[in-house]
Amino acid sequence: MGLIKINNSRCKSCYICTETCPKGLIKKSEETNRLGDYLVKFEDKDNSCVACAMCAKRCPDLAIEVFK
């Protein structure tokens, strides 16, 4: 079982992570950070994240941390 933490102040809503996650666990959110960037949210109801860290490796803003 894996878990990711998203640093909202670093995210710039490029949405590369939403298209990278092989299981589609990262989705666009309606929330914004203080600079007005629309954020992403991590939804893993079935505990299917395996902490492959592909989202974090492709995140250009170092906004994702992965735990296992």
Partner 1 sequence: MQAVFSTPEVMKKDFRFTFCPGCDHGIAVRLVAELIDEMNLKEKTICSTCVGCSVFLYDFLNIDCVEAPHGRACASATGVKRTNPDKFVFTYQGDGDFASIGYAESMHTAIRGEKVSAICINNTTYGMTGGQLGPTTMMGQVTTTSPFGRNKEYYGYPMKIAEQIALCDGTAFSARVALDSVPHINQAKQALRKAFEVQLEGLGFGFVEILSSCPTNWHMTPEQAHDRVKNEMIPVFPLGIFKDLTENK
45 CB contacts (<8 Å, ≥6 apart)?
none
Q: Is 68 in the site for partner 1 (CB under 8 A)?
A: yes
Q: Is 31 in the site for partner 1 (CB under 8 A)?
A: no
**Of 35 and 41, which has the nearer Cβ to partner 1?**
35
**Of 34 and 45, which has the nearer Cβ to partner 1?**
34
Q: Which residues of the chain form contacts with partner 1 (CB under 8 A)? A: 2-3, 9-10, 12-16, 19-20, 37, 51, 53-54, 56-62, 64-68
